[in-house]
A and B are shown apart, each in its own frame.
Chain A
Amino acid sequence: MASHRLGVAVFVLVATAILAAESEPNQVESEQLQDVGGSPDAVFSDAEGGFKTGDGASETVPGQAETPPHPVETGQADSAGRRVSIEVGSDRVEEPVADEELENLQAEFDLQDAPQQSEPVPTPRDHFAEELVIRPLLSGDIYTSFQFRTRWDTDLHRGKKVSHYRLFPKSLGQVISKFSVRELHISFTQGFWRTAQWGQPLLSAPPGAELWVWFQDSVADVDGAWRELTSVLSGIFCASLNFIDSTNTVQPSASFKPMGLGNVTEQRFLRYAVLPREIVCTENLTPWKKLLPCESQAGLAVLLKSEKLFHSSYHSQAVHIRPVCKDSACRETSWELSQTLGIVFDLHASGQSKREWSLFKMFSRTLTEPCPLASSSKVYVDVTDNPQGEELFDLSPAVSLQTQAVVLGDRRTFTVYDLLTPEPYGPTRSLNILLKWRQQVSVDMQRPVLHTERYVSGYGLQTGEINTLLYNSHPFRAFPVLLMETVPWYLRLYIHTLTVQSKGKENKPSYIHYLPSKDRQRPHLLEMLVQLPPHSVTKVTVQFERALLKWTEYTPDPNHGFYVSSSVVSAMVPSVVAMDTNSTEGRPLFTTLFHSTEESSYFMRVYSEPLLVNLPTPDFSMPYNVICLTSTVVAVGYGSLYNLLTRTFQVEEPSGGLTKRLANVIRRLRGVPAL
């Protein structure tokens, strides 16, 4: 009750604050602006310096797609296609690099001219490979996963600036060297991966935007670099990543380890943030496509049409940059840029109930050629559930090439279409992979070994409880998982109510890391290492209280609720078959994302649902209501009293009404004296 009273008091305060602030808001704003623009000269000079670069970029941009380009530019457009993408991408980086760019430009021209002058071309130090994995899901949906991998044998952190970029996107290369980034992982996801129905994705990601970065140990001010990096990335990817600040950034102590080479695992060089409400749409895909060497002009990327990609149940695009071994000796490092895109199509939802898939149906395009810059270009179709003899579906065109790979602890069989050979294209010179289900299958989906659920329970707007369920469906093996929860400060966790229960018994975590929140400064971080018993459900609960926000801290649509980011579950899951711990060379790209060091288990990361929590929201129309009510009271109460007090009362002479006059007329006619 006390808190309710407090709440009312706060509402009243809020109301007065609104009334006070509304009188002079204009001035407040201009003061704020002046504060930030404290040194306008510096800002302007920066902008001017940058402008040169922007201008340089505009030189190389050919006419837009619909415009008939200038005659001179037409000749340029084909040969300079790649260069254009670099320039367009790079003009988003704030560093003014006009001279460098010119140098780069000249070098590009030289490379193009080289064959004509019959000079030996230096062997490129960068490779590009592209691949598409198509996996029919037993639920009737289809999962397609693109991966584009650029590998560059150079060191971006050397003292001298790298100025010549070929396949590696310059915009990202400059970001890596400027902010001394060792590893960068960013993902944008729309929709939620339903592990229980779809199994494990090749690479999982939480709904919204996720960004985690390892900095070099030479970085002194990690927070500053992180802040700048997020705003630069927000420019590159057209996303609201600049909303990442200290209130949603954490430094996980154990859940995230570098995926690439490196010995430093000190958590102070790691930053992790999730924006669960970030929308993902065409404007995020456009810059992502521009990072590709062939953009969406050739190769697998021609399939990336936003109208089709976003008409899907799940869409997740990601960029991973990490240093990897150049060869099996691992004395040298290369930079690896993986761009992944996972989509789950639901043909039932789009009105085509026939269980029949084709590239054309999914992407409204077919494949006609590989990207000419790619050293490998392949399409894999998962046919593990389609063994010889008892086929569930027909696949056409049929090719003889098959390969086996160990994916997420299981041996899978794939049909391979190698786009660099002319074979798959056939006489029509276009590849349209068609997959036709033979009968209505009702195969029971084998439950994934690990999956997770999360929900909020409780009633009212004061307290609640976060419940996380961890399922281990392995029949006889227990395995450890690391659970990481990041909760915003406005949900105040009661850490003493933390319980971990498996099979009705308490399950003591062997490691707990808890960093309490600070109001308006940092979120709660809770990490724990839990051993999941075989064939069990482990329930982690913690209670919380909702805080009251200041009235300026509410979003424009506060009644929608506030998001709590997904919890991250990292696990070493026992594998069915021996994992391949050898070098990553020669294997399909999708099997080499996590480096496995053990044969008996594999590493996996699973994300739970994000939570949507309602906070006590004041009625923002209250000031208006208060003004109306007060004015009414004043008008009616005071007005009538004033009227009574100031009015002079006079006795009115009776003037005689109409009836009286009529009566008098009648009386006169009768000869009786008038009234």
Chain B
Amino acid sequence: MAACRLVSWCLTVFTLLFLFCYRITVATDEIEVCTSRFWFNYRHVANTLSVYRSVKRLGIPDSHIVLMLADDMACNHRNPKPATVFSHKNMELNVYGDDVEVDYRGYEVTVENFLRVLTGRFPPSTPRSKRLLSDDRSNILIYMTVPLISNSFCRYNELLFIIDTCQGASMYERFYSPNVMALASSQVGEDSLSHQPDLAIGVHLMDRYTFYLLEFLEDIHPASQANMNDLFKVCPKSLCVSTPGHRIDLFQRNPRSVLITDFFGSVRKVEITTEPVKLIPNISEKDEKLTEEVMLTEPQKYVEQMPVAEIIHQIYFGTFERYWIGKFHGVSRISPEVRISKPYQTILFGGSVYKNSYRRGLSRGE
């Protein structure tokens, strides 16, 4: 059998799905106060997940998607159907799926973490799933439902920004980085409107713009030739009520020549080699050697889960210490027979409350 190797040298496409949670700690003038926590913001999560579903369907693996969800809608106690998020009424399309991987969730979704993802500055132990592992050949799609300040970052080839929010156009007006294309669901001074209330779930399921975007993306397949001009037309004002806008002056290519799958999909090219590759196993030999070494060790034992006698006779303190502990804390109820283990010492000498008051006393004296 001819061994074939999969060779992929496509442009990698990264997706950053971001649902912004506003924390009062990071207020700036540019940010509108808008929180996407809480149940009534179901549609924001549904928006984000529908784009997630589309890009995943078009071949981008989870390792290339950074998904941020500010609150748990799927397993929220108010959700009548747990572990689902629906984008269409009558519970037709479950965008949560059975194999979702959320990278940032809950309180992790902050402006700081979003900027860290964009700029790539992380604490050293940050796992790979929480980083945007892109390089200068990567296309990046950023989808947001709430506006944020822009930032310049040279870690991409081309960047597509989609913003579904009120006054969305105000967001991309400030962009100055090259090769950025931006789409917004509404102009300055306009609201972005929601779509489809569902009586069983009790909230609006989606925003209008993303609803029509999802309908458009559902028809896209990895080989489809739809281009960006089609994307600009997904939601005319008659459907959206607001006026969607886009900005292409920073972008080098003609939008007509940019395929949707450049950003939303990952098309792999496969080369088949006809020459067989010979693989030589040497695993079994290694294993035997290992076994011999291990055999020499002593028999081992399981530890007793609750060695009562051992616990009682842990480190024992004398009368002096017990006296002082009692004196400081009034632990008169703990009888002299009580064994007090070592960390009690910290109350004696290092307890923060006493240390601080002692210091305060000194400084007052000075």
Interface residues of A (CB under 8 A from B): 22, 25-26, 29, 32-33, 36-37, 40, 42-44, 46-48, 50-51, 53-55, 57-61, 63-67, 70, 72-73, 76, 88, 91-94, 106-107, 109-111, 113-114, 116, 122, 125, 154-155, 158, 164, 190, 227-228, 231-232, 234-236, 238, 240, 242-243, 253-254, 257-263, 265, 279-283, 286-287, 305-307, 309-311, 325, 329-333, 480, 482, 495-496, 498-499, 506, 508-519, 529, 551-552, 555-557, 570-572, 594-595, 597, 603, 620
For residue B96, which residues in chain A have a CB less than 8 angstroms away from its CB? 282
Identify A155's interface contact among B111, B125, B294, CB under 8 A.
B294
Partner of A306, one of B62, B83, B291: B83
Q: Which of A48, A332, A570 is in CB contact (< 8 Å) with B135?
A: A48
User: Would you list 13 pairs from A and B whose C-beta atoms are within 8 A, ordered by A residue?
Assistant: A26-B28, A54-B133, A235-B126, A238-B101, A243-B108, A281-B74, A282-B96, A283-B100, A325-B300, A332-B291, A333-B294, A513-B343, A572-B306
Interface pair B330/A529, CB less than 8 Å apart: no
Given pairs A109-B279, A262-B300, A595-B305, 10 additional interface contacts (CB within 8 A): A26-B28, A29-B115, A47-B131, A48-B135, A73-B6, A257-B304, A330-B301, A480-B308, A529-B312, A572-B308
Of all chain B residues, the one with the shortest Cβ separation from A605 is B305
Residues B98 and A122 in contact, CB atoms below 8 Å apart: no
Q: Tell me if A64 and B306 are in contact (CB < 8 A).
A: no
Please name the residue on chain A nearest to B332 by beta carbon: A496
User: Does B318 touch A at the CB level, under 8 Å?
Assistant: no
Contact A59 B284 (CB under 8 A): no
Q: Which residues of A contact B287 (CB under 8 A)?
A: 122, 125
Q: What string of 1s and 0s marks CB contacts (under 8 Å) between B322-366 and chain A?
A: 000000011101110111110110110001100000000000000
Helix, strand, loop or mixed for chain B's interface? loop
Question: Cβ of B303 and Cβ of A262 under 8 Å apart?
Answer: yes
| Contacts A55-B12, A60-B6, A556-B21; A36 near B123 (Cβ below 8 A) | yes
Contact A257–B37 (Cβ < 8 Å)? no
Nearest Cβ on chain A to B217's Cβ, whole angstroms: 12
Give the Cβ gap from B131 to chain A, nearest Cβ, in Å.
6
Q: Contact partner of A496 among B4, B305, B331, B340, CB < 8 A?
A: B331
Contact between chains at A556 and B347 (CB < 8 Å): no
The CA-CA distance from A666 to B299 in the complex, in Å, is 130
Q: Say yes or no: A164-B283 contact (C-beta < 8 A), given A54-B64, A499-B333.
A: yes
A38 CB, min distance to chain B CBs, angstroms = 9
Which stretch (B52-60, B157-165, B240-248) binds chain A?
Answer: B52-60
Within the complex, the shortest CB–CB distance from A349 to chain B, in Å, comes to: 11
Are the CB atoms of A243 and B129 closer together than 8 Å?
no
Bound Cα distance A257, B156 (Å): 49
**Residue contact B298 to A331, C-beta cutoff 8 Å:** yes
The answer to whether the Cβ of B119 comes within 8 Å of any Cβ in the partner chain is yes
Contact B72 A498 (CB under 8 A): no
- CB pair A620–B127 under 8 Å, yes or no, is no
| Residue tally, chain B, CB below 8 Å to A | 116
Q: Is the CB of A67 within 8 A of B57?
A: yes
| A234 with B338: CB separation less than 8 A | no
User: A556 and B4: CB pair below 8 A?
Assistant: no
B289 to chain A, nearest CB (A): 10
The one of B24, B99, B103 in contact with A556, judged by C-beta atoms closer than 8 angstroms, is: B24
Please, how many angstroms separate the alpha-carbon atoms of A669 and B25 in the complex?
80
Q: How far is the CA of A540 from the CA of B340 in the complex (A)?
A: 18
Provide the residues of chain B in CB contact with A325, threshold 8 Å: 300, 302
Which chain B residues have a beta carbon within 8 Å of chain A's beta carbons? Answer: 1, 3-4, 6-8, 12, 21-28, 35, 37-38, 56-59, 61-64, 72, 74-75, 81-84, 94, 96-103, 105-108, 111-112, 115-116, 119-131, 133-135, 149, 221-222, 266, 268, 270, 272, 277, 279-281, 283-284, 287, 290-291, 294-295, 297-308, 311-312, 314, 329-331, 333-335, 337-341, 343-344, 346-347, 351-352
How far is it, in angstroms, between the C-alpha of A63 and the C-alpha of B8 when the chains are bound?
A: 13
Check if A257 sits within 8 Å of B306, measured CB to CB. yes
Q: With A243-B107, A263-B303, A555-B107 in contact, is A59–B6 under 8 Å at CB? A: yes
**Known contacts A253-B314, A556-B37, A571-B306, A33 near B115 by CB under 8 Å:** yes
Instruction: Verify A64–B56 contact, CB threshold 8 A.
Output: yes
For B347, the chain A residues whose CB sits under 8 A away are 514, 516
Contact status B98-A59, CB under 8 Å: no
Contact B112 A58 (CB under 8 A): no
B98 touches A282 (CB 8 A): yes
What residues of chain B lie closer than 8 Å to A55, measured between beta carbons? 8, 12
CB <8 Å contact, B119 and A37 = yes
The residues of B that contact A557 with a CB separation of less than 8 Å are 37-38
| Contact residues in A for B102 (Cβ distance below 8 Å) | 238, 283
A642 to B334 CA separation, bound complex (whole angstroms)? 71
Distance A286 CA – B130 CA, assembled complex (angstroms): 16
Decide: A64 near B339, CB < 8 A? Known: A72-B272, A107-B283, A283-B101.
no
**Chain B residues in 8 Å Cβ range of A93:** 127-128
With A33-B112, A43-B122, A155-B290 known to touch, is A556 a contact of B75 (CB < 8 Å)?
no
- In the assembly, what is the distance between CA of A506 and CA of B335, in Å? 11
CB-CB under 8 A from B83, the residues of chain A are 281-282, 306-307, 309-311
Measured between beta carbons, the chain B residues less than 8 angstroms from A64 are 56-57, 59, 61
Distance (whole angstroms) from the CB of B243 to the closest CB of chain A: 30
Q: Which residue of A lies closest to B24 (CB)?
A: A620
User: How distant is the Cα of A13 from the Cα of B122 in the complex, in angstroms?
Assistant: 33
Assess the A511–B129 pair: CB atoms within 8 A.
Answer: no
With both beta carbons as reference points, the residue of chain A lying nearest to B299 in the complex is identified as A330
B284 pairs with A122, CB closer than 8 A: yes
Please determine whether B59 and A63 come into contact, CB atoms closer than 8 angstroms.
yes
Q: How far is the CA of A597 from the CA of B301 in the complex (A)?
A: 10
Report how far A311 CA is from B79 CA in the complex, Å.
10
